[in-house]
Amino acid sequence: MSARIIETNNSPLNIIDVDGITVDLIENALKNAREEMDALVSRTALSPGIREQGDCFPMIANRDGKMVVGQFGSFIHGFTEAYDEEIEEGDIILTNDPYMCNAAVSHLPDWMVLKPVFREGRHIAWSAMFGHMSDNGGMVPGSIPTEATTIFQEGIRIPPIKLYKKGELQSDVLELILHNVRTSQWNRFDLNALVAACNTAGKRCNEIADRFGDDVFCSTMKIMLQRNYDAMKHIISMFIPEEPREFSDYICDDGMGMGPYKIHCKMWREGDKAIFDFEGTDPQAQSSVNFYLNEDMFKMFFGSFTINVVDPQIVFNDGFYDLVDVRIPQGTLLKPNYPAALSGRTHALGRIFDVLGALLGMGAPKEMLNAAGFSDSPHLFFSGYDDKGDWFQLFQIGFGGVPGRPIGDGPDGHSLWPSFTNVPNEFVEAYFPLRVETYEFIVDSGGAGLHRGGNGLSVAYRFLVDGHIGIHDDRWLTYPWGVNGGKPGKRSTKLLVRADGREEYIPAKCEGIKVHKGDLLYFNTWGGGGWGDPLQRDPTIVVSDVAKKLVSIEGAKRYGVVINEDLSLDQPKTDALRAKMSKDTVQDEMFNFGGTIEEIKARCLEETHLEPPVSPTFLNQ
């Protein structure tokens, strides 16, 4: 079963030699085209999620479906394999169903648009883009129901269909789809923007082929892929040891009282080939926290993290996929069986990066190992009717602390996802009935270390009308770990202060929580883990951190630094404290997880005001 591409011009494209400089020119032109796709979408999309936050990802692939420029790797191969239809010039495909495209997109709110690019009747390339829609229908506003047990509860499933047939919009289909979502106007514009971006990319590919010739264009894409292959071959032999390395991390819970869930990966090299084996990862969850991980996408994660070392200007692409083997056992959290629910996949997606970072960094901890912090992408949903009786639906992505890194401290409250930005609070306040009363980093939340972990953010939302909130967050139980002697960062918390003063700690994953006018929600994100021994940090920098209120006088003691009330350094007491603390320092500690899972669970209620999750049980086990 696979897609059949109908070409009206069957004269073959010839693979020819292209001089290196022409390759560089075309590489630049394709890079520009990709950036143009991003720019176009951010200008024309309507929803704050895509437009302001940048939750969308473009790609241009060669005619075989290999990504030549883009971010998350090609999903075309997975799609064409699963799509048993003819594809013609002018067709534009739309889908959102992970089970129908080999997880090219990993949950239903991500709508993917795919366009075969033709030139004079010949298929020369693909352009594609997916974006996170504000709503996809289903159980809850925002369409990420944690409690869903099957994908049928997560809203409308769009199998790969032709949104445009030979250039004609299939408006019946479009209206049927939009009829099933809560934010049809936003989705309509956002989808328009994705289509416009793909069309633009198609136009640019044609212009490049005009200028250099079809054979040169297509051959160059092959050469660009080969460049990546060659570079990655070197990188793999440099960074991936033949001796296997293993690492485990967890997502804290499934939102239904069970957890944590283990993600385990073993990495090694056989000849030129890097192997990542997820054997030992927990079976699939019964709620929606499963992350259907496309193997190719994981290869891309791996490549992106390492390629910068050798040529930061390279246009990164798919060319090296044959050098990587990713093994994910069926039926696990990372490859659940249909029809498992998938919408809450953000936690495991984030955690994959911590796991990958650990595996790659372990071999050269001083040069390459970052602490944990790429831990999550917390979501807040707030929906209801405003004072005029109009429906509103807010979706916000939060940011925590960037971990301590070999290069230095982690920035406070910054995004680890590429291209993401926060939404200006004045914008949020102007268009939604709430007031953001504080938007500030949380003192001492970054893990102590020679390089300090970035502080998390405390965002306080005052609700100005009644409504419902839903939250998706993690790292509330397990810690963003520290490395090389660095301490873990603080975990995330959510505190709801009711208008009458009652305080409720609410779980990291919840939905349908009724809030009333005047209630205040503190949405506190995690701090990044620390890097290196905090006792080695220059005390004058700690003094400056305290003056900046990034660290408190009390928190400075974690660095063995004693600071007077007037913010001056007490050198003798600092010397004494550091001497005392250094006796307790564990030598050569690569990871600090803040305790074993058992220990963390035992302290859970006391520390987090929430019951610990019970160990998961699995169906069919």
Partner 1 sequence: MSYRLGVDVGGTFTDFLLINESDGSTHTAKVPSTPEDSSIGVLNGVSKICDQSGVDPRDIKLVMHGTTVATNAVLTGNGAKVGLLTTKGYESVLQVARSFCPGGLGGWVSFVKGPLLAPLELTYGIKERTDASGDISTPLDEDHLREQLAQLKAKGEVEALTISFVNSYINNENEVLAAQIASEVFTDIPISISSEVIPEMQEYERAETTVLNSYVRPQVSNYVNNLQSNLEKSLGSDVQLSILRSDGGLASSRSTGDSPVNHLMSGPAGGVAGAIHFCSQANFENILTFDMGGTSTDVALIQNSKAKIRRETLVGDVRVKAPSVDVRTVGAGGGSIAFVPELTKALRVGPESAGAVPGPAAYMQGGVQPTVCDANIVLGLLPSEVQLGGDMTIHKEAAEKAVQTIADGIGIDLMEAAEGIIRIVNESMFGALRLVSVEQGFDPRDFALVGFGGAGPLHANALGILSNSFPVIIPPGPGVLCAYGDATTQIQDESSRSYLAMAQDIVTDKFLSDLSDLKNKASESLLKDGVSDSNLEVVYQADVRYAGQAFQITVEFDEKEYKTKGIQLITDAFDDEHYQLFTFKLSDGHEILMIRAIVKVQQSEIKSLANEDFSGSLEDAVIQDTRFYHEAQWHDAKIYERTKLHAKLVIPGPAIVSEMDSTCVILPDYEAAIDQVGNLIINPKK
Q: Which residues 550-609 are close enough to bind partner 1 by CB under 8 A?
A: 550
Region binding partner 1 by CB under 8 A among candidate stretches 92-100, 330-338, 406-414, 484-492: 406-414
Least separation, in Å, of the C-beta of 193 and partner 1?
Answer: 9
Least separation, in Å, of the C-beta of 71 and partner 1?
Answer: 6
Instruction: Give the separation between CA 214 and CA 119, rounded to whole angstroms.
Output: 8
Question: According to CB under 8 A, which one of 174, 275, 460, 506 is a site residue for partner 1?
Answer: 460
Helix (H, G, I), strand (E, B) or coil at 191: helix
Instruction: Give the separation between CA 425 and CA 420, rounded to whole angstroms.
Output: 15
Q: Which string of x and - marks every residue 417-456 that binds partner 1 (by CB under 8 A)?
A: -xxxxx-xxxx-xxx---x-xxxxx---------------
Least separation, in Å, of the C-beta of 410 and partner 1?
Answer: 8
Name residue, tokens 């030979």: 166
Residue 38 sits in the site that holds partner 1 (CB under 8 A):
no
Residue 231 sits in the site that holds partner 1 (CB under 8 A):
yes
Instruction: Give the separation between CA 293 and CA 25, rounded to whole angstroms.
Output: 34
Which of these, 551, 518, 537, lies nearest to 581 by C-alpha position?
A: 537
Per residue in 590-609, is it b (16+ CB within 10 Å) or e — as a string?
ebbbbeebeebbeebeeebe
Binding to partner 1 (CB under 8 A) within 353-372 occurs at 370
Instruction: Give the separation between CA 315 and CA 221, rounded to whole angstroms.
Output: 11
Region binding partner 1 by CB under 8 A among candidate stretches 257-265, 303-311, 488-496, 498-506: 303-311
Region binding partner 1 by CB under 8 A among candidate stretches 15-23, 325-333, 470-478, 582-590: 15-23
Q: Exposed, middle or buried by CB within 10 Å (0-12, 13-18, 19+), for 360?
A: buried
Question: According to CB under 8 A, which one of 514, 549, 580, 609 is a site residue for partner 1?
Answer: 549
Question: According to CB under 8 A, which one of 8, 32, 150, 171 is a site residue for partner 1?
Answer: 32
Question: According to CB under 8 A, which one of 44, 248, 536, 585 is a site residue for partner 1?
Answer: 44
Least separation, in Å, of the C-beta of 269 and partner 1?
Answer: 18
Binding to partner 1 (CB under 8 A) within 232-251 occurs at 234
Question: For partner 1, how many residues bind (rule: CB under 8 A)?
Answer: 75
Binding to partner 1 (CB under 8 A) within 171-230 occurs at 186, 192, 196, 227, 230
Q: Compare residues 20 and 271 and give the one whose CB is closer to partner 1.
A: 20
DSSP state of 405: B
Cβ distance 62 to 225 under 8 Å?
A: yes
Binding to partner 1 (CB under 8 A) within 130-159 occurs at none
Backbone angles phi, psi at 300, to 5 degrees: -65, -40
Region binding partner 1 by CB under 8 A among candidate stretches 35-43, 167-175, 272-280, 507-515: 35-43
Least separation, in Å, of the C-beta of 314 and partner 1?
Answer: 6
Residue 510 sits in the site that holds partner 1 (CB under 8 A):
no
Q: Compute and round to an integer the Cα radius of gyration of the chain.
A: 25
Distances (CA, A) of 336 to 149, 166, 260, 289, 432: 12, 36, 17, 10, 37
Binding to partner 1 (CB under 8 A) within 308-327 occurs at 308, 310-311, 313-314, 316
Non-local (6+) Cβ contacts of 49 within 8 A are: 55, 132, 133, 134, 395, 397
The angle formed by the CA atoms of residues 38, 39 and 45, to the nearest 5 degrees, is 85
456 Rama class: left (phi>0) / alpha (psi -120 to 50) / beta: beta
Region binding partner 1 by CB under 8 A among candidate stretches 21-29, 82-90, 332-340, 572-580: 21-29
CA max distance for the chain: 83
Q: Compare residues 1 and 430 and give the one whose CB is closer to partner 1.
A: 430
**Token pair for residue 529?**
């883990």
Instruction: Give the separation between CA 485 and CA 532, rounded to whole angstroms.
Output: 5
Least separation, in Å, of the C-beta of 279 and partner 1?
Answer: 25
Q: Compare residues 447 and 616 and give the one whose CB is closer to partner 1.
A: 447
Least separation, in Å, of the C-beta of 578 and partner 1?
Answer: 25
Residue 17 sits in the site that holds partner 1 (CB under 8 A):
no
Least separation, in Å, of the C-beta of 310 and partner 1?
Answer: 5
Cβ distance 42 to 54 under 8 Å?
A: yes
Question: According to CB under 8 A, which one of 3, 18, 30, 40 is a site residue for partner 1?
Answer: 40
Q: Compare residues 146 and 415 and give the one whose CB is closer to partner 1.
A: 415
